[in-house]
Amino acid sequence: MPTESTFLLAGLFLLLAAAGWALGRFGERDEENTPPPLNIDYLKGLNFLLNEQTDQALEHFLKMVRVDDRTIETHFALGSLFRRRGEIDRAIRIHQNIIARPDLASEQRDQALFSLAKDYLRAGLLDRAEKLFDRLSQGSRYQVEALEQLCRIYEQEHEWQKAIDAGQKLEVLSGRSLELQIAHYYCELAEMAAAKKDYAAARAFVKKAQSGRSRTQRGALTRADIARDTGDTRTALRLYHRIIDDNTYLITEALPRLVETYAYEGAEDQLERSVDSLLKKNPELKKEIAYTAIVNDIGGIGVIDRCVEEYMLSEPTLAEFIDLQNIEQEDAADRAAALQRVRAALSKMAAVTPRYQCKECGFSSKTLLWQCPSCKAWESQRPFDHVQFDSLLQRSSAAV
């Protein structure tokens, strides 16, 4: 079967024929009045193609059509076409061939290096791509693109300090603020240091993440986690409370940690009181607290249980599943048991459903991901709200 690249090269040979290559109009012989014979090189190339020997045809093309000012664009076009089709080895061969030309203008050399770096990236040869982008980032018209690519590579390799350096250079060159992105790089470093129990370094990195007009909520959460892990419960609780008080979307992460920390301290009474006073100040948080409690299966805390109950009874979709009339008439114990059954079912369903969704591209996941694996945006995920239960219940009722 002829491959796509066979057709591609065949098209190129046709174009060459139209331009006079087949008749040997280019090259050394150009005598007038003698009918030119068919170019032997050209015929050889066609023969390879007819035998579906694409690599040989390509090699032949590269030998036959030297890189010069007239043909360089054709070489570039062929290279990027191969890359787009996923035939990376061939794209690499073409771009290396361009670079090998000794008298290449510096702009064309940069273009070829940039193309080759993209080939390497596509082939997963990150260290080779990194070297070339790094060279281009030192001074070329691809500086900004090269730095952007370097940031992506360092993110993939978890080389956060290098990512910070590249990001800061990029800010200067592009005039764009990368504050959020760089704050996350520092948070990554902080989490790595904390994992190695180097808490002093971890705290220093969080401080850097939070300096300036940082817009990330992650710094506060990381700082609270470090305090919790180093036994500074008071600070940890204060910070988890602050995240929840500020009514940020991170309540879904902070509330379970808060409950855990109070429980660890054996201070459930204090938890009751603090959530109670929080709800007096911000009654609109009831729904978020209920949702978070259901998806994280937090139970046995009076004030939170009441939020969950209220939520279940006020949800129109859930009302179809809970017989409200009967529930109200039942005695307290039966009522509690019925609600408990519904709640347990919801928690089970929530456990197998994505909880977070990227607001940029819609990618969803069960755990919070600071960088979206799909569109690479930072801190673009938000928790689903109750709407998810609608689709869950629809799905489960459709399955019945």
Residues that bind Zn ion (CB under 5 A): 358, 360-361, 363, 372, 374-375
Distance separating the N- and C-terminal Cα atoms of the chain? 49
In the complex with Zn ion, which residue's Cβ is closer, 96 or 364? 364
Minimum distance, C-beta of residue 329 to Zn ion, in the bound complex (Å): 48
In the complex with Zn ion, which residue's Cβ is closer, 12 or 372? 372
Question: For residue 301, which amino acid is it?
Answer: I
Minimum distance, C-beta of residue 361 to Zn ion, in the bound complex (Å): 3
In the complex with Zn ion, which residue's Cβ is closer, 23 or 377? 377
**Distance between CA 203 and CA 370 in Å, rounded?**
19
Minimum distance, C-beta of residue 215 to Zn ion, in the bound complex (Å): 17
Minimum distance, C-beta of residue 369 to Zn ion, in the bound complex (Å): 9
Per-residue tokens: 161: 């300090």
DSSP 100-116: T-TT--HHHHHHHHHHH
Minimum distance, C-beta of residue 24 to Zn ion, in the bound complex (Å): 55
**Distance between CA 163 and CA 130 in Å, rounded?**
12
Minimum distance, C-beta of residue 362 to Zn ion, in the bound complex (Å): 7
Per-residue tokens: 137: 């980032």
In the complex with Zn ion, which residue's Cβ is closer, 337 or 375? 375
In the complex with Zn ion, which residue's Cβ is closer, 274 or 365? 365
Minimum distance, C-beta of residue 68 to Zn ion, in the bound complex (Å): 44
In the complex with Zn ion, which residue's Cβ is closer, 126 or 361? 361
**Distance between CA 23 and CA 203 in Å, rounded?**
73
Minimum distance, C-beta of residue 349 to Zn ion, in the bound complex (Å): 24
Residue holding tokens 């591209």? 361
In the complex with Zn ion, which residue's Cβ is closer, 262 or 378? 378
In the complex with Zn ion, which residue's Cβ is closer, 232 or 360? 360
In the complex with Zn ion, which residue's Cβ is closer, 282 or 374? 374
For residue 364, the cross-strand partners are 357
In the complex with Zn ion, which residue's Cβ is closer, 353 or 374? 374
Reference 202, options 182, 219, 214, 216; nearest CA is 219
Minimum distance, C-beta of residue 379 to Zn ion, in the bound complex (Å): 11
The helix or strand, by DSSP H or E, that contains position 345, with its residue range, turns out to be helix 332-351
Distance of CA 329 to the CA centre of its chain: 51
Q: Sort residue 273 into left (φ over 0), alpha (ψ -120 to 50) or beta.
A: alpha
State whether the Cα torsion 9-15-20-23 is positive or negative: positive
In angstroms, what CA-CA distances link 240 with 126, 206, 215, 229? Answer: 39, 15, 17, 13
Per-residue tokens: 357: 């969704």
Minimum distance, C-beta of residue 20 to Zn ion, in the bound complex (Å): 50
Give all strands of the β-sheet with 381-383 in edge-to-edge order: 364-365, 356-358, 381-383
Minimum distance, C-beta of residue 373 to Zn ion, in the bound complex (Å): 8
For residue 383, the cross-strand partners are 356
Per-residue tokens: 86: 């996923």
Q: Which residues of 29-67 are buried (b: 16+ CB within 10 A; e: fewer)?
A: eeeeeeeeeebebbeebbebbeeeebeebbebbbebbeb
In the complex with Zn ion, which residue's Cβ is closer, 14 or 375? 375
In angstroms, what CA-CA distances link 296 with 59, 251, 288, 344? Answer: 60, 12, 12, 11
